[in-house]
Every structure is written in structure tokens, then in C-alpha cells.
Amino acid sequence: NAGVTQTPKFQVLKTGQSMTLQCAQDMNHNSMYWYRQDPGMGLRLIYYSASEGTTDKGEVPNGYNVSRLNKREFSLRLESAAPSQTSVYFCASSEAWQGNEQYFGPGTRLTVT
Amino acid sequence: EDKVVQSPLSLVVHEGDTVTLNCSYEVTNFRSLLWYKQEKKAPTFLFMLTSSGIEKKSGRLSSILDKKELSSILNITATQTGDSAIYLCAVEGIQGAQKLVFGQGTRLTINP
């Protein structure tokens, strides 16, 4: 099992460009999440999908959109990148929407210039 | 608003020392508290503590949940250089879906 995979590993964008971060899990988990991690701020939830077909905003959703393509895949889109979105992005998944630990992907380091 | 605060933010000790990391929280309808270890990349799960499981131990690592004080500690005994990492505390409340609120993390450095 690969667990949670993310692509790309690194990305540099210019302000105003768009891109999609891809995430897939092979653990048959129902719930998936997108976080960003900034220095000194821990992990902050951007969007989550409690189950296939549903998505909800987290703590910092502005400037992002998500798609739960199927049970395995959950993508994060930046429509018009801004320097404030420079961060490390982690995708995670969990078996159920309550009471289960989350498994994290390796992260995408995004720089917006 | 749910909140998780970890202390200290940074800690440097010598190999063989024992360390205690702290996590305090304010959350609506507490469900669980989780500890993660983050080395260079993804956080990896260590422990989950709940009302029915307030103490966990795995090798040299152990954790206790104090629901009265709304806090948890993570202890690491006989530290090794491989324990150097950021340790993250996260709390889950009953909010209609599983959403973890993370603390800032404690950066632990073990010097040989």
C-alpha cells in the first residue's frame, strides 16, 4: 500500500497563476482533508470531505476550491495564486468521519512569487 | 473557537535525557486528543487519547490525558537522536464531522 500520495512534491507559481494539487489514498478511507502548514502555526484545515460526494470548508478556505473526484481522490485548486498561499500543503485521510487517526501524505511545497 | 496550545515551542536536550511536552486545549465537546511526530515530511501518528483511554504507552513514549485540566503530556524517556522532530498535538471535538485542530508544535532537538 502506498498510503496517501500527493503530486507534485514542489511547485513554483507566479502571482495570478492557477494550479491543482492532487491527492490519492489507497486505504479505502471515507474522509479526506487538505491542510496547510506555515512556520510557527501548526497545521490548519483548508477543506475536508467527510465522505464521497461531500465537501466542507475548514478554518482557512479562502482562495481555494476542492473536488472529491471519487472515494480515492481529493484535489485542491488554487484559482489565482497569491504570495500568501506560499506554504506546505498536506493531504490526509481517515477511515471514518469521527474518532479515527488521520494518515498524511508527504506534502507539496508551494512557492508563489 | 477551538484552540490548542503547546509548550515549549522549542526544546534542546542531550541524548539520554527525559523530556515532557505539554498540550492544553479548549474545544467544544471534546472527543479525542492525538499526538503526531513530524520529521522531515508527513506527520506520523503516535497516540490517540479519549475519555475511555486516558493513558497510552509505546516503548519509550507515553502520554496522559487530564480531562479536568484540559491538557495532555507526552513523555519521552532515554531520548535518542532519532527522536528529534516536531511533535504535534491535535484535538477533535464533536462538530458534525471529524476536524482536528492542531497546536503550533514543539520542535525537539536531541544532541548526541
More confident residue, A13 or B100: A13
The grid coordinates of residue A98 equal 469521527
Question: In chain A, which among 6-25 make CB contacts under 8 A with chain B?
Answer: none
DSSP codes joined into one string, chain A: ---EEEE-SEEEE-TT--EEEEEEESS--SEEEEEEE-TTS-EEEEEEESSTT--EE-S--TTEEEEE-SSSBEEEEESS--GGG-EEEEEEEESSSSS---EE---EEEEE-
Q: Please give the interface size between A and B, counted as residue pairs whose CB atoms are below 8 Å apart.
A: 63
pLDDT (tens digit per residue) in B15-65: 999 999 999 999 888 889 999 999 988 899 999 998 877 899 999 999 999
Average pLDDT value for chain B: 91
The grid coordinates of residue A28 equal 479505502
What pLDDT, on a 0 to 100 scale, did the predictor assign at position B99? Answer: 73
Residue of A4, A55, A102, A103 best to disrupt the B interface, most CBs of B under 10 A:
A102
Check if the beta carbon of residue A24 is closer than 8 Å to that of residue A73: yes
Once rounded to an integer, what is the mean pLDDT over residues A40-51?
A: 89
